[in-house]
Amino acid sequence: MLKQVQHDKPIMLNTSLPPQKQNVNWVIVLHGIVIILIWASPFLFRWQLIIIVILLYFLQIIFLGDCILTRHQFDVKKRGVTFYYFILVKLGFAPDMYRVRFVADYIMPPVILGVALTWQLALNNLPLIF
């Protein structure tokens, strides 16, 4: 479970970049927008497109080793840190990095696809955009 922790000084994730470069603002904003779009995707995009995006996500993990935005934001070569982990730490929680990664990689994509299939096929709703 997540534990709320109090910090006297700002949290810096353990990366190879100096603290001032960890928070590349435009990457954080872009990453946040992408994640919001992903979570809203069952209502915005056709379920077929969501399957393609999920497959592309797994292909980038297989061939590049991690999310492109995560690699740019944290300059990581080895998988570990996720945007979700980054946000939880910034909010003062102390999550297990590998559990967060597991949920982000193996739980969230099927949940998002399941919501899309339920919303669009079972409940017969059309996506708002595509």
pLDDT digits (tens, 9 = 90+) for 15-56: 444 555 555 678 888 999 999 999 999 999 999 999 999 999
In whole angstroms, what separates CA 104 from the centre of its chain? 6
- Taking the C-alpha atoms of residue 11 and residue 92, their distance in angstroms, rounded to an integer, is 9
Is 11 inside any structural domain? no
Is 4 inside any structural domain? no
pLDDT on residue 80:
75
pLDDT on residue 45:
98
In whole angstroms, what separates CA 121 from the centre of its chain? 25
Is 26 inside any structural domain? yes
For residue 4, the cross-strand partners are 93
pLDDT on residue 88:
92
Residue 104 has pLDDT above 70, yes or no: yes
> Range of 79's domain?
20-121
pLDDT on residue 23:
55
Q: For the chain, what is the domain count? A: 1
Is 127 inside any structural domain? no
- Taking the C-alpha atoms of residue 9 and residue 7, their distance in angstroms, rounded to an integer, is 6
The Cβ of residue 41 has, within 10 Å, a number of other Cβ atoms equal to 22
Is 54 inside any structural domain? yes
Residue 8 has pLDDT above 50, yes or no: no
Cα–Cα distances in Å, from 86 out to 31, 42, 66, 94, 98?
11, 25, 15, 10, 12
pLDDT on residue 19:
58
Is 45 inside any structural domain? yes
Is 115 inside any structural domain? yes
pLDDT on residue 17:
46
Report whether 41 contacts 116 (CB < 8 A): yes
Q: Which helix (H) or strand (E) holds 62?
A: helix 47-64
